[in-house]
Chains A and B, each alone.
Chain A
Amino acid sequence: MKELKNKIEKYKTQFNREITLIQDKKGLQELRNLFLSRKKGYVSLLFEDFKTLKPEERPEAGKIINELKEYVQTKLQVLQEEFSTAKKVEKTYDLTLPGKDVYLGSPHPIVHFQQEIEQIFLTMGFAIEEGPEIETDYYNFEALNFPQHHPARDDWDTLYIKDDLLLRTHTSPVQIRVMEKKKPPIRIIIPGKVFRKETPDPTHLPMFFQVEGLVIDVGITFAHLKGTLEYFLKALFNENIKIRFRPSFFPFTEPSAEVDIECTVCDGKNEDCRVCGGSGWIEILGAGMVDPQVLKNVNIDPEKHSGFAFGMGIDRTAMFAFQISDMRNFYENDLRFIRQVLRK
């Protein structure tokens, strides 16, 4: 019993010493564990000793152990509250300094713009298809209703690898590849790189991106072509943009159309407008109803199915959308240019 009393006295002294040293909640928890931990805390150990005492000694022993427990608990509680009450936090930093800047990479403007275009067509239920960049004369020209010696081929200045092998001049050959494989209904867009024999200047490059669209089904009309492209152009530019369809010529569509949008830079009011040349309109898309000969070439009966196709230069459209005056900027890959897509 005396031994117990001494122990309690010793613990109490130790507690009183240690509690003055506590700096934070962590220290508080450590001290609490030391005394009150269920398994190895001092109080628990005292109760172990308690079990060895004679029955008549137990009531007093129990009382003094509990007194210590309460003493410790109360003191710890007070300290706990002291720690918890909000102290005024000292301000040691300048809140106006810039925040941490995580360095993120930027998408390339053309790829970024291509994805915006894809997104619009995906919401209209179009699937995305791709095809080879090295093509045969058949897919690039012949199947698209460009006869072997037709001057229409001059409008597509071609880079050749061999007589029959070339770098595709448009994404249209993929139309043929898809129609050969798949039966209607077909509703696809085909984005990709195309190649032309062009000497680089601000508006011409030997390589650029195009996106092609193709819809084939029963009962597809020119009205559907107009509806689709109007929806697309309004989504890409703005809801109020003016759109004009006018007759044109492509070997693989009949009737064919060129689609212009109003020049939002000058609203058609500046005769010397750098963007539209004063006409007030910008040529943005070529389109038309798929030529019956093209359908026949892929064994689709033009009496049963009809469809429309359209094609757009992604670079050219991006130039207009972002007000970039020189197409070559896209392929210099100056990071000061590219990273503008990412952030201001």
Chain B
Amino acid sequence: MKISLSWLKQYIDLDISTSELVDTLNNIGLMVDDWEENENDTILDIETYANRPDTLGHLGVARELAVALGRPLKEQSWPLIELNEKTSDLINIKILDEDLCPRYCGIIVRGVHVGPSPYWLREKIKAIGLSPINNVVDVTNYVLFSTAQPIHAFDLDKLTGRKIIVCKAKKSESLISLEGDTLALSSDMLVIADEVKPVALAGVIGGQETSVSNETQDVFIESAYFDPVSVRKTSKKLGIKTEASYRFERGADESFPPQAALMAASILTQMGGKATKGILDIYSEPRKPKTIVLRNHRVAGLLGLEIQEEFIEETLSKLGFQIERTQKGVWQVKSPPFRVDVEREADLIEEIVRFYGYDKIPAKLPPFETLEPALSPKRKAFHKLRQILFHYGFDEVVNFSFVNEEKEAKLQSGRKPIEVRNPVSSKASILRTTLIGGLLENISWNLNRGAEGVHVFETGNVYFWQNDSCTEQCMLALATTGRVGTAHWQSRNEETDFFRLKGACEAFMNYLRYDPYIFREEDHTYFEPGHSLSLHFKGEPVGFMGLVRRDILDSYSIEDEVWAAEFKLEMLLEKQAKKFQYRPVTRFPGISRDISFIASQEVTYQKIKAAVEKCSIPYLNQFYIYDRFSGPSIPKGKVSLSLRFVFCHPQRTLLAEEVDALQERIIKTLKAEFNFQLREGGKIDK
């Protein structure tokens, strides 16, 4: 909110420098975001808080400064030039809904010459960034920005029957606002009506028909208190936010309406009008201030700092609180009516420390107690997983959770997307159901900027409807395309492929000790048919990997091949890893045997592996494939496979003859099962 220094000076003497003033305000929580100095004034931009409607006017800011600087507030007087007519002779005010309008005051100023405001008033209005309109409107604004009490001026002659009725609107009633918009009213909205129709939306905006114009002679000034929730609901429903509604919805000062009405009338009579006698004040149940008990030991208990009782008493009473000591270290406190935010002991403690100074509170570390293990196994596993992926050359990315509905649909994640009701943009209207889309965006972005290859992963939630509830699930996704790193003088940087991706996945499964896991050839909507694997961990499917479908890549304008994978990370991390347990290392040397076969291309490595494992060959310590090729030297439809078998006995050296026999068993099994042809010597015929 804009605060003019010269305006403030009407309430308090300020002979301090601007920077001193700014520091003082900041220290008591009135944050000065910015300030501007011009020839005859300084304008401060002060941050406003939802709980401090009292500071939404110059008077409120001056009140705070007076306490902080230990200075008195200047007295204000508002003399009236009065008529003999009583206000109640000219207008009749009736409140039909006292819950939403507990207090309504009015006064009439007759013979107002509507026209430009005097210079001093125009300057004030301009200082806070508004444009002067006419003297009546400028006066209402002046009162609002002075005291934070919104007031409204009606053209008395246009109030049919000279009646003011505060009531809820009737269904299908409407009102043309000051700004010329036709507002459709509903029966929960509080309005100000005359004898026949609504003339203003209570606390929000006035009506055009009864507004002050150049022809206006007599002005009826409204100064009331409206229920914050009611004003807020109406303002939200109609989408109208005004300086008045902003203050009423935060809570106005219920004691203040008569003074604001008097102030407005006084200024208008100085401009030639004459006021009716007596302010009409409908206020049947004055609010009684709540008593708050304040205990000195709680002040110290909450702040970690002893504050002298004199300081507490003095500060609170200067701030307008009634404070009464009932016993040593205990007070009964009543808040002033403008402090709607102070209702509890903690609120009072904040008031005390605001003026005592946050900088005087000592800094101590909380007493240390050992709690539960700080890093959960799940988090530890997560950190390790990331390290492994970094090791494999995958960069970590973070994408927005919002995605384009059309693009997301192409991916066919099979998860029902959640729509954001009020999205930031129509291109980000749903929550992502897969991480793959984001990674493809990243690939496209980076390739377009000259990257030779992109290898990325992301961890984060996907969101979807499951039955009738919103579900979020933490996923891990990877994608890889193009070359890895830059060329080195010893070797060209290699082109990525499926096995780079699979290797990274196998690595985190192995290094996180997730056992047992298995891959299956299985199709998935993200991938080209026949080009994807599913991963199963402890019998449950946890994800897929494969070659991303051409038409998907086209929609991201990616020409290169992309391999990608997506896993249910939360499911992985929540499962028990296999515990580390030491197995004795044999002291006896192993014997390895290499066997080469010609096999049909149809025979997968996984099948071979399963067949060998099924044989339960004794002393077979490990086996792996170390070569696979096809070419002119190999019959069509066949491949050459070279397997290495390592045998080891825990207690002795194996004899060559023993190993010969085991090797023979393996060869026999593989020949029988897969119709393999042995390639003698393991050498490739040329």
Stretch at the interface among A42-50, A70-78, A125-133: A125-133
B contact residues, total (Cβ < 8 Å):
96
A126-B374, A160-B421, A185-B369 known; A97+B304 contact, CB < 8 A: no
A227 to B398, CA, bound (A): 33
- State whether B51 touches A249 (Cβ < 8 A): yes
The interface stretch among A5-13, A15-23, A104-112 is A104-112
CB distance from B52 to the nearest CB of A (A): 7
**Which of the residues A103, A221, A258, A339 comes within 8 Å of B304, measured between beta carbons?**
A221
Contact B358 A245 (CB under 8 A): yes
7 contacts between A and B (CB under 8 A): A97-B489, A98-B489, A103-B484, A104-B391, A128-B379, A151-B232, A231-B365
Q: Which residues of A contact B379 (CB under 8 A)?
A: 128
A159/B420 in contact, CB under 8 A: yes
Q: Which 7 A/B pairs are nearest by Cβ-Cβ distance? A: A247-B29, A223-B304, A221-B304, A103-B485, A255-B350, A249-B49, A152-B50
Contact residues in B for A151 (Cβ distance below 8 Å): 50, 228, 232, 246, 249-250
**Which of B155-163, B214-222, B445-453 binds A?**
B445-453
Given contacts A227-B365, A248-B31, 8 further A-B contacts (CB under 8 A): A105-B390, A105-B393, A134-B463, A155-B50, A206-B402, A224-B304, A255-B349, A338-B397
Segment 344-364 of B: residues with Cβ below 8 Å from A: 344-347, 349-350, 353-354, 358-359, 361-364
Complex-state Cα separation, A246 to B232, whole angstroms: 29
CB neighbours (8 Å) of A170 from chain B are none
List residues of chain A with CB within 8 A of the CB of B419. 161
Is the CB of A203 closer than 8 A to any CB of chain B? no
Q: Nearest Cβ distance between residue A280 and chain B, in whole angstroms?
A: 10
Q: Is B366 an interface residue (CB 8 A)?
A: yes
Say whether A137 faces chain B, with CB atoms less than 8 Å apart. Answer: no
B421 contact from A110, A133, A161, A227, Cβ within 8 A: A161
Q: Which residue of A103, A228, A244 has the most chain B CB atoms within 10 A of its CB atom?
A: A103
Instruction: Tell me the bound Cα distance from A34 to B501 in angstroms.
Output: 49
Interface string of B230-241 (1 = CB under 8 A from A): 001100000000
Residues of B within 8 A of A231 (CB): 365
Tell me if B398 and A331 are in contact (CB < 8 A).
yes
Q: B452 to nearest A CB, angstroms?
A: 11
The interface residues of chain A lying within 8 Å CB-to-CB of B346 are 254-255, 289, 291-292, 302
CB neighbours of A185 from chain B (8 A): 369, 371
List, in ascending order, chain A residues with CB within 8 A of B371's CB.
125, 127, 185, 187
* Complex partner residue of A159 from B52, B422, B463, B472, CB under 8 angstroms: B422
Our pick among B365, B445, B484 for the contact of A334 (Cβ within 8 Å) is B445
Q: Is the CB of B353 within 8 A of A122?
A: no
In the complex, whether A240 has a CB less than 8 A from a CB of chain B is no
Asked whether any CB of chain A lies closer than 8 Å to the CB of B486, the reply is yes
> CB of A57 within 8 A of chain B?
no
Q: Are B365 and A228 in touch, CB under 8 angstroms?
A: yes
Check B396–A108 contact: CB distance below 8 A: yes
Q: A256 to chain B: which residues have CB within 8 Å?
A: 350
- Contact of B401 with A247 in the complex, beta carbons under 8 Å: no
> In the bound complex, what is the Cα–Cα distance between A339 and B361 (angstroms)?
42
The A189-240 residues at the B interface (CB cut-off 8 A) are 193, 195, 197-200, 206-207, 215, 217, 219-224, 226-228, 230-231
Contact partners of B396 in chain A: CB under 8 A: 105-108, 111, 338
Contact B305 A222 (CB under 8 A): yes
Task: Please state if B395 and A335 are interface contacts (CB–CB under 8 Å).
Answer: yes
Establish whether residues B347 and A254, one from each chain, have CB atoms under 8 Å apart when the complex forms: yes
Judged by a CB distance under 8 angstroms, whether A306 is at the interface is yes
- Roughly how many angstroms separate A220 CA and B359 CA in the complex, as a whole number? 18
B301 near A335: Cβ-Cβ < 8 Å: no
A-contacting residues, B426-466, CB 8 Å: 428, 441-442, 445-446, 449, 451, 454-457, 460-461, 463
- B contact residues around A198 at 8 Å (CB): 424
Inter-chain contacts of A245 with B (CB < 8 A): 358-359, 361
Q: Smallest distance from the beta carbon of B41 to chain A beta carbons, Å?
A: 20
Question: Do B232 and A149 touch across chains, with their CB atoms under 8 A apart?
Answer: yes
- Asked whether any CB of chain A lies closer than 8 Å to the CB of B367, the reply is yes
> Known: A125-B371, A226-B363, A289-B346. Contact between A338 and B490, CB under 8 A?
no
Interface residues of B in 453-500 (CB under 8 A from A): 454-457, 460-461, 463, 470, 472, 484-486, 488-490, 493
Residues of B within 8 A of A111 (CB): 396, 398
Which residue on A lies nearest to B442, using beta carbons?
Answer: A333
Nearest chain A CB to B656 CB, angstrom units: 14
B398 touches A197 (CB 8 A): no
B400 within 8 A of A: yes
Q: Is the beta-carbon distance between A105 and B455 smaller than 8 angstroms?
A: yes
B433 to chain A, nearest CB (A): 13
Is A101 touching B486 in the complex (CB atoms < 8 A)?
Answer: yes
CA of A255 to CA of B353, assembled, Å: 8
Is A277 interfacial (CB-CB < 8 Å)?
Answer: yes
Interchain nearest-CB distance for A143 vs B (Å): 17
Residue pair A104, B424 in contact (C-beta under 8 Å): no
Q: Are B485 and A335 in contact (CB under 8 A)?
A: no
List of A residues within 8 angstroms of B232 by Cβ: 149, 151
Q: Give, as a whole number of angstroms, the nearest-CB distance from A222 to chain B.
A: 5
Tell me which of B250, B354, B461 contacts A133 (CB under 8 A): B461
B34 interface contact, C-beta 8 A: yes
B428 partner residues in chain A, CB cutoff 8 A: 206
In the bound complex, what is the Cα–Cα distance between A47 and B394 (angstroms)? 65
Q: Across the interface, which residues of A come within 8 angstroms of B420, CB to CB?
A: 159-161, 167
Chain A minimum-CB-distance residue to B230: A149
In the complex with contacts A105-B455, A161-B420, A331-B399 CB distance below 8 A: yes
- Which A residues touch B457, using CB under 8 A? 105
Contact assessment for A197 and B489 in the assembled complex, using a CB-CB cutoff below 8 Å = no
Query: In the complex, what distance in Å separates the CA atom of A281 from the CA atom of B29?
Result: 15
Residue numbers in B under 8 Å from A132 (CB-CB) = 472
Partner among A115, A197, A224 whose Cβ is within 8 Å of the Cβ of B365? A224
Per-residue contact bits, chain B 117-138, to A (CB 8 Å; 1 contact, 0 not): 0000000000000000000000
Chain A residues whose CB sits within 8 angstroms of the CB of B249 once the complex forms: 149, 151
Q: Which residues of A contact B514 (CB under 8 A)?
A: none
Closest partner residue, chain A, to B251 (CB atom): A151
Is the CB of B28 closer than 8 A to any CB of chain A? yes
**Residues of chain A contacted by B398 (CB below 8 angstroms):** 108, 110-111, 330-331, 333
| A344 contacts the other chain (CB 8 A) | no
**A332 within 8 Å of B (CB atoms):** yes
In the complex, the answer to whether B472 meets A133 with C-beta atoms within 8 Å is yes
In the complex, the answer to whether A306 meets B301 with C-beta atoms within 8 Å is: yes
CA distance A271 to B121 in the complex (A): 32
Given B228, B375, B422, which contacts A197 in the complex, CB threshold below 8 Å? B422
Least CB distance from B384 to A in Å reads 13
A152→B393 CA distance, assembly (Å)? 46
Interface centre among B303, B419, B449, by most A CB within 10 Å? B303
User: B451 near A335 (CB under 8 angstroms)?
Assistant: yes
Any chain B CB within 8 A of the CB of A181?
A: no
Query: How close is A209's CB to chain B, nearest CB, in angstroms?
Result: 8
| Residues of chain A within 8 A of B250, CB atoms compared | 151
Among residues of A, the one whose C-beta sits closest to the C-beta of B32 is: A279
Nearest A residue (CB) for B459: A111
B395's partner among A148, A200, A339 (CB-CB below 8 A) is: A339
Does B604 reach chain A (CB closer than 8 Å)? no
Q: CB of B376 within 8 A of chain A?
A: yes
Q: Is A87 an interface residue (CB 8 A)?
A: no
Answer yes or no: A154 CB below 8 A from chain B CBs. yes
**Contact between chains at A227 and B363 (CB < 8 Å):** yes
Across-interface contacts of A248 in B (CB, < 8 A): 29, 31, 49
List A contacts of B305 (CB < 8 A).
221-223
Q: Say whether B358 contacts A195, CB under 8 Å.
A: no
Q: Please determine whether A257 and B422 come into contact, CB atoms closer than 8 angstroms.
A: no
Of the residues B52, B344, B455, contact of A249 by C-beta under 8 Å:
B52
The complex places the Cα of A333 from the Cα of B458 at a distance, in Å, of 11
Q: Report whether A125 and B370 are in contact in the complex, using a CB–CB cutoff of 8 Å.
A: yes
Chain A residues contacting B463 (CB-CB under 8 Å) are 133-134
Is A63 interfacial (CB 8 A cutoff)? Answer: no
Contact B486 A222 (CB under 8 A): no
The docked-state distance in angstroms from the alpha carbon of A97 to that of B470 is 57
